[in-house]
Amino acid sequence: MISELPEKPLACWRGKERYGNELLDCLTIIFKSGGCSWSKCRMCSYRHERYGEQSCDALLSHLRAQLAWVARENKSEEYRMVKIFTSGSFFDPAEVPPAFLADVAGAFRGKLVIAETRPEFVQEDTFRGFIEGIDDGTWKTPLYCAIGLETSSDTIREKCINKGFSFSDFTIAAKTAHAAGAGVKAYLLLKPLFLTEREAAKDMETTVQDVVPHAEMISMNPCTVQRNTELEFYWKRGAYRPPYLWTVLTLLKNSPVHMTCDPLGGGQKRGPHNCGTCDYELVSGIRDYSLNGDRDLIGALLETECGCRAEWEYVLAREKPYCMPLTR
């Protein structure tokens, strides 16, 4: 299993994650893989992070080298949770050779594993095999599959994101995961391309309600403008603005369940931001809330006084929906 290739994952870091009422030490890994099989989402640049055309064996050696690096650099007793991302889907056999799943399961036996995948790769047999590998009885649910559902609206997912699957694909995958003994984490995208601030907030409210029956964990991702994406094309022409932090806070406060949120790029022009003056405090408060689940903190942050609040209210009231011509 040990490869001699001097390779590292795309990223690997340690942090804390909330699980139930506990705070766990968490190892997060982003493996460089064969790349997303779909590769068409309008806001995504992760899909560019991939090995070129490779044989299955070569890909396996690259992945094994990365796993060996992770094991060398991180003592197993120092973390209890592992979050696994790739440049697409961890359970896609074309992207991650199935033999690698067994290696990962062996390396993280006894850990609580969260691994990201598109719904079409949620297969009961694969999940059962993987769970068998990691489960040593420590966790009631040792595996969660994280699915980037983004929104429960099929229209928004198709037109604004181009995600290539439907809400019912997600609910079927959730059912399959549960049948295999895994849990489900849903990633939701706040403010895809073409939506006004108000439309985006409404879509997120509806989505959370629709997703609660199917997922034990929900994470809201405020959209960021990644490089070399279609979203960036529009943003550079003034046709897109990432969501306001006021919107993020309002949604966290009103959510019927605890939603985690890591506002990547928060306070920067490519990430969720307000005016520049109040951003730092709000972003760090949102990060704290993800860990402590303290709604009063969110309430207090929403009371922060800043001139940009009136601007946000004006935008909510007056921004006009994106209008496409009806004919060519």
Which residues contact Zn ion (rule: CB under 5 A)? 274-275, 277-278, 306, 308
Pick between residue 63 and residue 249 the one whose CB is nearest to Zn ion. Answer: 249
Pick between residue 20 and residue 52 the one whose CB is nearest to ligand SF4. Answer: 52
Element (H or E) spanning 30, and its range? strand 22-30
Q: Do 222 and 183 touch, CB atoms closer than 8 A?
A: no
* 46 belongs to the binding site for ligand SF4 (CB under 6 A): yes
**Counts of helices then strands in the chain (DSSP H, E):** 11, 7
**Contact pick of 38, 187, 233, 322 for ligand SF4 (by CB under 6 A):** 38
- Tell me the C-alpha distance between 109 and 105, whole Å: 6
Q: Do 62 and 103 touch, CB atoms closer than 8 A?
A: no
128: β partners: none
Residue 289 interacting entry, from Zn ion, ligand SF4, none, C-beta within 5 to 8 Å by type? none
- Give the x-and-dash track for 108-147 against ligand SF4 (CB under 6 A): ----------x-----------------------------
Residue 286: φ, ψ to 5°:
-65, -40
Residue 274 interacting entry, from ligand SF4, Zn ion, none, C-beta within 5 to 8 Å by type? Zn ion
Q: Do 124 and 103 touch, CB atoms closer than 8 A?
A: no
Residue 275 interacting entry, from ligand SF4, Zn ion, none, C-beta within 5 to 8 Å by type? Zn ion
**Contact pick of 9, 97, 148, 263 for ligand SF4 (by CB under 6 A):** 148
- Residue numbers 220-259 binding ligand SF4 by CB under 6 A: none
User: Which span sits near ligand SF4 by CB under 6 A: 43-51, 93-101, 119-127, 243-251?
Assistant: 43-51
Furthest-apart CA atoms within the chain: distance in Å: 61
25: β partners: 16
Pick between residue 203 and residue 279 the one whose CB is nearest to ligand SF4. Answer: 203
Q: Do 85 and 29 touch, CB atoms closer than 8 A?
A: yes
Q: How far is the CB of 43 from ligand SF4 (least distance, A)?
A: 7
* 41 belongs to the binding site for ligand SF4 (CB under 6 A): yes
Residue 118 interacting entry, from Zn ion, ligand SF4, none, C-beta within 5 to 8 Å by type? ligand SF4
- Tell me the C-alpha distance between 183 and 181, whole Å: 7
Q: How far is the CB of 318 from ligand SF4 (least distance, A)?
A: 31
Pick between residue 16 and residue 40 the one whose CB is nearest to ligand SF4. Answer: 40
Work out the angle between the directed axes of helices 279-292 and 245-254 (0-180°, nearest 10).
30
- Residue numbers 49-108 binding ligand SF4 by CB under 6 A: 88
* Paired tokens of 125: 């047999």
Q: Is the dihedral of CA 250, 255, 257, 262 positive or negative?
A: negative
Q: How far is the CB of 301 from ligand SF4 (least distance, A)?
A: 29
- Tell me the C-alpha distance between 169 and 128, whole Å: 20
Q: For residue 181, how many C-alpha atoms fall within 13 Å in the half-sphere facing its CB?
A: 18
* 36 belongs to the binding site for ligand SF4 (CB under 6 A): yes
Q: Which residues contact ligand SF4 (rule: CB under 6 A)?
A: 36, 38-41, 44, 46-47, 88, 118, 148
